[in-house]
Structure 1
Amino acid sequence: MSGFLKNVNQEKVVFLLFIVIFILFSVLLPGFLNANNLVLLMQGVSVLGILGAGMCVVVIGRGIDLSMVATMAISVAWALQLNGEGMSLPLALAIGVGVALFVGLANGLLIAYAEIPPLFATLATSACVYGFGRFFLIHTDLVYVTPGVGMLVELGQGRVLSIPMPVIVFAAIAAIVGAILHFTKFGRFTYAVGDNYGTARVTGISVRHVLVGQYVLTSLVAFVAGLTQAMAISSMNTRISDTLLIYDVILVVVLGGVGLSGGRGGIRNVVVGTLLIGTFLNGMTIMDVQYTMQNAIKAAILLAAIMIDTIINPRDEQTSQHGDI
């Protein structure tokens, strides 16, 4: 029995909960196993998972990025608007990517060099990105995808062997981010910085460069998530920045087992967290649970996940000093 308990971790518990909830919903909820519903479930889970993969990088590095959703919305909406106004698709996408990278660079510089805690730095940049973007760049809240995107629409609506493209994009992003974290110096340095900031600096790691790189990578992933969602639903609503989506992203990361204290977890944790929360949200929607009640339930789950994370990965003195979360 003791040997079994040693092999149990948060990731395995969450995956088991996902299986149990999926089976219960399949039996108890009419329409849950409907093909159209499963496609919607997979698409919703995919975008959430892509964002989670990006958030995973900064959380492992003992940070957080509250500007991901605003970055996603504004960068993609502006690119779509420029394309709709006649700009070539490659140039419009390049400008959108440039906006996302600029936000990531700004976050990284504020956190690494100005030494502003990530929570406050990214909260401020989120408000700035949305406010500046809507006032100066984007004419309407809702920007539609036009025929000018051509075959790019397949990114959200296409299928490969009956698998929706958003699922394939999620798998690809998860594989790429996972490979970066585990097979590159940048990834190893990210874990080192998250595990012990002071030791990483003493051992010669360019901590500031690593921090900047984390937020740039996260913003790039946010752009991919936004582009995938826009192609799937044929539009980008900039008001998504005012929703609680960013807390859903944090929820799948923390619930899956990525430690807020830094230096722990990986892409597999994000995948299992995404599967559980995506299935749970889809089931609540079928049960016609009110949106405000869904938010209350998600908040309770997030609070429980943070409490569990605090017990499993205790905050050390250094984490408290940096005030990362």
Structure 2
Amino acid sequence: MLGASAHGAWSQERIVLALAVVLFVISGIALPGFLAPANLISIVHSVSVLGLLAVAMAIVIIGRGIDLSAVAIMAMSAAWYLQMLNDGWSEWQAFGIAAAGVLAIGLVNGFLVAYADVPAIFATLASGSFVFGFVRSRLITQDAVPVPAGHWLEQLGGVHPFGIPAEVFVFAGAAFLAYLFLRFTKWGRYVYYMGDNAMAARNMGIPVRPMNLLRYVISAFISLGAGLLTAASLHSMNTRIVNSTLLYDIILVVVIGGIGLSGGKGGMRNVIVGAVLIGIMKNAMTILDVPDIYQNLIKATILLIAIVIDSLVNPRDEQTAQQGDI
């Protein structure tokens, strides 16, 4: 339960990993330049922020929820932080205020889901829209906010241990810490129990509502980290990313990797194999010069198929339907 989505020989995790290997081999043979070291580094770099956000989404979904505000929190918290720095705020002031704002939106998401009984899909969709609108209209002056010259984020963007961007190591570290949290802490086990059967978990004495708060706060702070990584890589934060397909890519990584939307199953290995497959697929389509509109159509089709398969393999029980978590 705490690792792969299933332990059989043909578990979804293993099937997806096999597909990733097959796609990698075919792309390496058929596409010129695919196996070039620079392109391989580009693949792992492209999935680092996507994978980091998928780590946050996985923790929420395993506990039988969903967080549609993740991309808005990522972009707007980082942009606000950079705006304060450009306005002359000190590092600690800017980061402290931005972190407090992220904590507040995480708590609001958790409160709406856990105490106000608002379905997570609506609560987080609304909060994400609010965060984007409020920050863009009141707190920042332009869509793209640059990293101040000489700032540590600018320096982080230039760090490439062993020729690999630092963002890749941050993603790997976050996935490992999330694995330790889910696998070896009682709070992590509570996430699985809640996702498996929230009513039974409550009857066992598990603090279901505080755990909901915790999951959405964790998701919000990981999203902030993803925003800082994006700013480090691009030397700016463009808030228009909120209107991109990134959110759907995150859900695609989680679902196709084998984490059931009904909750209670999956783990970080599922996130990694899902991110690897999507990273290889997106890179291959880029080399083939597939237009963005068709890339989005392909990814949307795969996501739809994955959700249908997930609903068949992991049917929602009566309690889930009544609770309306997702």
Q: TM-score range by the shorter chain?
A: over 0.9
- Contact 1:89 1:149 (8 Å CA) reproduced: no
| Partner residue, 1:177 | 178
| Partner residue, 1:36 | 38
**Structure 2 stretches of 5 or more lacking a match?**
1-6
In the TM superposition, residue 8 of structure 1 has moved relative to its aligned partner by 1.6
| Partner residue, 2:267 | 266
**CA distance in structure 1 between the aligned counterparts of 2:55 and 2:68, rounded to whole angstroms:** 14
Q: Which amino acid aligns with 1:96?
A: A
Alignment of 1:72-151 (within 5 A): 72-150=74-152
In the TM superposition, residue 290 of structure 1 has moved relative to its aligned partner by 1.0
| Partner residue, 1:219 | 220
* Residues 1:14 and 2:16 are matched in the alignment: yes
- Contact 1:72 1:100 (8 Å CA) reproduced: no
- Contact 1:253 1:273 (8 Å CA) reproduced: yes
| Partner residue, 2:249 | 248
- Contact 1:180 1:187 (8 Å CA) reproduced: yes
TM-score, normalization by structure 1:
0.96
In the TM superposition, residue 82 of structure 1 has moved relative to its aligned partner by 1.0
- Give the stretch that moved more between structures: 17-26 or 306-315: 306-315
Identity %: 50
- Contact 1:112 1:212 (8 Å CA) reproduced: yes
In the TM superposition, residue 162 of structure 1 has moved relative to its aligned partner by 2.3
**CA distance in structure 1 between the aligned counterparts of 2:85 and 2:132, rounded to whole angstroms:** 20
Would you say how many aligned residue pairs link Structure 1 and Structure 2? 320
- Contact 1:154 1:165 (8 Å CA) reproduced: no
In the TM superposition, residue 20 of structure 1 has moved relative to its aligned partner by 0.7
Of residues 59, 62, 76 in structure 1, which corresponds to 2:61?
59
| Partner residue, 2:3 | none
Q: Which amino acid aligns with 2:228?
A: L
In the TM superposition, residue 148 of structure 1 has moved relative to its aligned partner by 4.5
Per-residue CA deviations over 1:118-173 (Å, capped at 9, x if unaligned) read 000000001100000100001000011112523x3343331122222011000010
In the TM superposition, residue 319 of structure 1 has moved relative to its aligned partner by 1.1
TM-score, normalization by structure 2:
0.95
* Residues 1:300 and 2:317 are matched in the alignment: no
Per-residue CA deviations over 1:9-42 (Å, capped at 9, x if unaligned) read 0000000111111111111111222333222222
Q: Which amino acid aligns with 2:56?
A: G
Q: Which amino acid aligns with 1:214?
A: R
**CA distance in structure 1 between the aligned counterparts of 2:272 and 2:134, rounded to whole angstroms:** 33
- Give the stretch that moved more between structures: 281-290 or 210-219: 281-290
Aligned to 1:127, what secondary structure does the other structure show?
helix
